[in-house]
Chains A and B, each alone.
Chain A
Amino acid sequence: MTTALEIKNLHASVADQPILKGIDLLVKQGEVHALMGPNGSGKSTLAFTLAGHPAYETTAGQVIFNGEDLLEMEADERSRAGLFLAFQYPAAVPGVTLAKFLRQIINSRRQAADPDDKGISIPAFRRLLKEKMDMLGIDHKFAGRYLNEGFSGGEKKRVEILQMATVEPKIAIMDETDSGLDIDALRVVSEGAMRLKQELNMGILVITHYQRILNYINPDYVHIMLNGRIVESGGPELALHLEENGYDWIREKHGILEEA
């Protein structure tokens, strides 16, 4: 059975300020959806709301993930259910090494499934880590560094995909993973995500401003978000059209003025 992320009429607020004003979206496993839109349209709010950030309050609507009510789950439960968010700005966790963090990610999943689980063995973990790091071209030395502390933008994004590869999600949200990446890093990161899509039949929701990443992660569907709503949906040609024409035509069409 394929898993789906089904968003129905979702409204959400941050600090009592309504940001999402009725989102409807269906992302199935194996599909790639691109979500585009100008700054401030609510794309990242949607990502954080789906991931369960406590500062984002859902005021109306429903999200069904794999047949269950996603909004009833804590952030950690959502992750273990198979939803993944690749952060635009991942937090630094001083004092916790990347290796220790990844091992805890694996062990938390195993222990949620079986409270008596003793966790992954060190040799098995080392093998897994080496394999995934090599796939993403991450220097093994990073395993001993504190998570995201002093990492460059590109290094942080690679490490986000490394985490994605470690948890093997059913559906991944990539929040502006392309921002701040040079072309080589963009290619490695995108290929990593596409490989997971092929191997795991992972579904992807790519949030981006630019066509660039969509050359590597080819979308089946493209959605345009404006002022807290999805106002246009179409195929890959919609992204190309945006690249050439910008957002003005769509603002005009929907009678929404540009934000000051």
Chain B
Amino acid sequence: MTAFSKEAVEKLSASLQEPEWMLAFRLHAFEVYESMPMPTTNDEAWRRTNLRRFKLDEIGPSVNGDAATHAEIPSFLNQQLTADKAGGNLLQVDGVTRHYELSDELKAQGVVFCDMHTAVSQHPDLIQHYFMTECVQISEGKFAALHGAFWRGGTFLYVPKNVKAAAPFHSVLWNESGKTFTHTLVVIEEGAEAIFMDEYASSSGSGQSLHNGVIELLVGDNASLIYAGLQDFGTNVWQFNHERGRVGRDGKLDWVTSMMGTRLTKAFQTMELDKPGAWGRMSGIFFTNGKQHLDLDTQQNHNAGETVSDLLYKGALKDESRTVWQGMIKALPGSQKIDGFQANRNLMLDKTARADSIPGLEIEADDVACTHASAIGKLDPEEIFYLMSRGIPYETAVEMSVQGFFDPLMRRIPFEGIRDRIFSRIVEKINI
């Protein structure tokens, strides 16, 4: 018996009162899912992540629990973290919207910011046009297809042509059990600008749970998006994500990822630089402890000449945790005058932790500047002694040193409240 069935797809779609086209999309995705084998360590992309102990069938789709409508919302989730004046705030609990606001000014300019189900019913044209069509495809992998069939909850942000949304958007997705299939779809049209802080978190329940998410970021010509995806799931969650950003001519995508939680994460994150002048920066912040396993597969695809990509992923590791970063910069033939950079730096806080750092280049053009760097280091005892020699206790000195390690990336998150939330999690994990 499997909890993921055609009937389950139909039941989910009916419970969400979806139009026919979305049901058809889901059923097609389910067929693709069924046709694909479960990835194993024989697949190149999964060589370092073993799913043998993962009981997918026992988990099943995400359906409404009591938490969705009745559970108390943890108070920290309601804090205004982004700025004095928010463009929009959205709080979803177990896939159900519990709090929602969008500034009148942005609404009047045609900005849409809402949960994905509201988007399906109120903006069907936009969703049909963009949902898993231009960015992430259901054919990309077993978990992309599973998501297409069972996606639930998540956030839609649409900023129309030439609208410059100065005030930030902030979305918080909270889940009691961790079982989520959230979808983030961001469409920034030509000449438009936005800043979006996208947080997803859950409590640590018992037994295995699943997050199967997709993030799609579409940045048009001359458009700009600062996007931060901030993950802090419970330690029982197994996370499988497909994430992709696309950038048009002279567009900018500044993409920050923070990963603190889960038992295991496998995420594919791809930056597509489609037209000359496109600029994409990817920043990764992660901290693992206990038996956490984090496997990040990044790609910077220079699909046109005169494009710039810049990736820096930094991780700190404790206990017996393990991280894998596998990066690739690709340039199509004819993508001349590109500039691609990738770097991964890991700070080992315990000898028992392990970090694999695997950079890669596949360049088919000749007039390019592509470089990579990776490093694995430890806390510097001279630095710790120096801090202590000024009266700072050892524990605080370590916290400062780890914070310092992440600081250059933290500075890329434009809000102190968000930075503080991430850092207080890091401190918590240092001291566990």
Q: Which residues of A contact B (CB under 8 A)?
A: 51-55, 74-76, 78-80, 85, 87, 90-96, 100-101, 104-105, 108-109, 112, 146, 163, 167
Which of B380, B392, B405, B408 touches A108 (beta carbons < 8 Å)? B392
Interchain CB contact under 8 A, A93 and B388: no
Residues of chain B contacted by A54 (CB below 8 angstroms): 381, 385
For residues 386 through 403 of chain B, which have their beta carbon under 8 Å from a beta carbon of chain A? Answer: 386-394, 396-397, 400-401, 403
Determine which residue in B396, B403, B404 has the highest number of CB atoms from chain A within 10 A of its CB, and name it. Answer: B404
Do A105 and B390 touch across chains, with their CB atoms under 8 A apart?
yes
Q: How far is the CB of A106 from chain B (nearest CB, A)?
A: 9
From known contacts A104-B396, A146-B404, infer whether A87 and B386 are also in contact, taking CB-CB under 8 Å.
yes
Which residues from chain A contact B362 at a C-beta distance below 8 Å? none
Q: Is B383 an interface residue (CB 8 A)?
A: yes
CB–CB B386/A108 < 8 A: no
Tell whether, in the assembled complex, residue B403 and residue A95 are in contact, meaning their CB atoms are under 8 Å apart: yes
Are A53 and B385 touching (Cβ within 8 A)? yes
Q: Which of B382, B386, B387, B390 contacts A167 (CB 8 A)?
A: B390
How many B residues have CB within 8 A of the partner chain?
Answer: 24
| Cα–Cα distance between A52 and B389 once the two chains are bound (Å) | 8
* Beta-carbon contact of A95 and B406 below 8 Å: yes
Residue of A nearest to B406 (CB): A95
- Would you call B407 an interface residue if the criterion is a C-beta within 8 Å of the partner chain's C-beta atoms? yes
Q: Which residues of B contact A85 (CB under 8 A)?
A: 389
Q: Do A76 and B407 have beta carbons less than 8 Å apart? A: no
Which residues does chain A contribute within 8 Å of B404, judged by CB atoms? 93-96, 146
Query: Are A108 and B393 touching (Cβ within 8 A)?
Result: yes
A93 touches B400 (CB 8 A): yes
Given A96-B404, A108-B396, A146-B404, verify A163-B388 contact (CB < 8 Å): no
- B394 contacts A76, CB within 8 Å? yes
CA distance A94 to B401 in the complex (A): 8
B380, B381, B388, B397 — most chain A CB neighbours (10 Å): B388
**CA–CA, A105 to B391, complex, Å?**
6
Closest A residue to B392 using CB positions = A108
> Per-position contact with A for B226-246: 1 when CB-CB < 8 Å, else 0?
000000000000000000000
Which of A75, A78, A100, A167 lies at the interface centre, i.e. has the most chain B CB atoms within 10 A of its CB? Answer: A75
Apart from A95-B403, A101-B400, A146-B404, 11 more pairs, CB < 8 Å = A76-B392, A79-B388, A79-B390, A87-B389, A93-B383, A100-B400, A101-B387, A104-B392, A105-B392, A108-B390, A108-B391
Chain B residues whose CB sits within 8 angstroms of the CB of A108 once the complex forms: 390-393, 396
Contacts of A90 in B (CB 8 A): 386
Residues in chain A near residue B388, CB distance under 8 A: 52, 74-76, 79
A78-B380 Cα distance, complex, nearest whole Å: 21
Asked if B385 and A93 sit within 8 Å, CB to CB, the answer is no
Q: Cβ of A91 and Cβ of B391 under 8 Å apart?
A: no
CA distance A39 to B387 in the complex (A): 27
Taken together as a complex, chains A and B put the C-alpha atoms of A104 and B398 apart, in Å, by 13
Interface string of B39-72 (1 = CB under 8 A from A): 0000000000000000000000000000000000
Listed from nearest, the 10 A-B pairs whose CB atoms lie closest are A95-B404, A95-B407, A79-B391, A91-B386, A75-B388, A96-B404, A80-B391, A76-B388, A91-B382, A108-B392
Nearest residue (CB) in B for A169 is: B391
Q: Which residue of A lies closest to B395 (CB)?
A: A76
Contact A51–B389 (Cβ < 8 Å): yes
> Is there an interface contact between A93 and B393, defined as CB atoms closer than 8 Å?
no
Q: Which residues of B contact A55 (CB under 8 A)?
A: 381
Q: In the assembly, what is the distance between CA of A101 and CA of B389, in Å?
A: 12
B403 touches A96 (CB 8 A): yes
Q: What are 9 pairs between A and B in contact, CB < 8 Å?
A: A75-B385, A75-B389, A76-B388, A79-B389, A146-B404, A146-B407, A163-B390, A167-B390, A167-B391
Q: How far does the Cβ of B415 sit from chain A's closest Cβ, in whole Å?
A: 18
- In the complex, what residues of B have CB within 8 A of residue A101's CB? 387, 390, 400
Q: How far is the CB of A157 from chain B (nearest CB, A)?
A: 14
B residues in contact with A167, CB < 8 Å: 390-391
- How many angstroms between the C-alpha atoms of A55 and B381 in the bound complex? 10
Alpha-carbon distance A90/B380, docked complex (angstroms) = 13
CA distance A209 to B388 in the complex (A): 27
Chain B 364-390 per-residue mask, 1 if CB under 8 angstroms from chain A, else 0? 000000000000000011110111111
Q: Nearest chain A CB to B2's CB is how many angstroms away? A: 48
User: In the docked arrangement, what's the CA distance between A80 and B392, Å?
Assistant: 9
> How long is the Cα–Cα vector from A187 to B56 in the complex, in angstroms?
71
Q: Which residues of A contact B394 (CB under 8 A)?
A: 74, 76
Collect the chain B residues with CB atoms within 8 Å of residue A79's CB: 388-391
A68–B353 alpha-carbon span in the complex (Å): 41
Contact of A95 among B385, B386, B408 (CB under 8 A): B408
Q: In the complex, what distance in Å separates the CA atom of A96 from the CA atom of B389?
A: 16
CB-CB under 8 A from A87, the residues of chain B are 386, 389
Q: Within the assembled complex, what's the spacing in Å between the Cα atoms of A146 and B382?
A: 16
Closest to A77 in B: B391
User: In the complex, which residue of chain A has the Cβ closest to the Cβ of B385?
Assistant: A53
CB neighbours of B406 from chain A (8 A): 95
> Bound state CA distance, A146 and B401, in angstroms?
12
What CA separation (Å) do A79 and B392 show in the bound complex? 9
Which residues of the other chain, B, contact A51 by a CB distance below 8 angstroms? 389
Chain B residue nearest to A80 in the complex (CB): B391
Chain B residue with the shortest CB-CB distance to A79: B391
B411 to chain A: closest residue by CB: A95
Contacts of A93 in B (CB 8 A): 383, 386-387, 400-401, 404
Query: Once the chains are docked, how many angstroms separate the CA of A79 from the CA of B164?
Result: 52
